[in-house]
Amino acid sequence: MPKQKVRLLIVDDSVFTRATLKKILSRDPGIEIVDEARDGREGILKLQQHKPDVVTMDVEMPVMNGLQALEEIMRLQPTPVIVLSSVTTTGARLTMNAFELGAADVVAKPSGKSGDGLAELTQDLIMKIKAAAEIDPRRLRGSFPRPASIAGGLAGTARRAEAAGSGARVPGATPRQRVELVAIGTSTGGPRALQMVLQELPADLPVPVVVAQHMPNGFTELLAKRLDGICPLAIREVEDGEVLKNGTVYIAQSGKQIQVTKKGTSYVAQIGDEMPIKTLYKPSVDIMFLSLAKGAPPNAVLGVVMTGMGADGLRGAKEMKNKGSFLIAESEQTCIVYGMPRVIVEAGLADRVEDLPNIARAIMECVNANKR
């Protein structure tokens, strides 16, 4: 966490929301609210005046909405922006567009009832504000080089991890056994990272993919629909009891836990409130990984951990490695927040450390190895 106070600008047209945010955030000694703005235009002026570390931004505002303001912020003065969005069809759709423009994360907007989920909102928002303060603003633009076409061949192209003792093995390494399922865990910066990876995977991918992405309730369905419209693979929000099919990506439901087990020759998703371990996250990467370590054959799962704050996924990754799973971690060079991948790398669990534009190729190399 940052050693100095995080300087925060609040941009929202709602008097109630601004007052609520000021009340709950001012209690944290690590956050200083430098100012507030009533719309996007005023927000940009106050951003240039105060140069805050982080901005919270409503998306639906008069004069200049959050998307227009976000685009201007990334052009004029890139700054980590956390979107506060209502869980409505319009709000969720605008939030998906905000990620494409460079938003770092999303938090569900407080309702009109001051006590309605306020404790959970406070904890989530404070954690995300402090994580966002550590983001290098230059990475928010997502200007990474595009990978060469996967169809052009699958020669090993992994970059060697730069940090000594990272735990990464030989560049281009692949599992010794056939991969039956890919499991991806991600958090802050994840929607854009997922888009880059999933757009590069072919529609005939010979295995199913499950994804645990930290998001507030109500947003994962819209994320799945948006990705389904722009990616070759079929992408959907997973349902309880669903049999997972090859060539399909299943996004775990926000507000619920996903556990995956193998029954016969198929993998089946279980969605619910069961918490085999204590965790803040719904869905939790740890719970997804632990279920696969317990319910999948040895060596059958390829785990991928990408950008995100905290250490969710570490405990599950250790159990997966004990079962022979192969793990890919996103490199520090491309992570919006180098938290979740960092703990995997530092624990010596990563078989490959890849820049984001190379992760889809690495997945295909691993899936296509030992196909017989």
Catalytic option among 214, 291, 325, 351: 214
Is 312 a residue of the active site? Answer: yes
Q: Is 187 a catalytic residue?
A: yes
Indicate the SS3 state at residue 20: helix
Structure tokens at 221: 């369905």
Of these residues, 12, 312, 351, 355, which one is catalytic? 312
Which of these is catalytic: 14, 85, 86, 187?
187
Active site residue 12: no
Supply the DSSP symbol for 175.
-
Separation CA 250–CA 244 (nearest Å): 8
Measured from the Cβ of residue 88, the count of other Cβ atoms closer than 10 Å reads: 12
Largest distance between two CA atoms of the chain: 62
Q: Which residues contact 185 (CB under 8 A, 6 or more apart)?
A: 211, 212, 213, 285, 288, 289, 303, 304, 305, 306, 308, 312, 313, 340
3-state secondary structure of 290: helix
Q: How far apart are CA 225 and CA 235, in angstroms?
A: 7
Q: Which tokens go with 128?
A: 């995300």
**Catalytic residue list:** 187, 214, 312
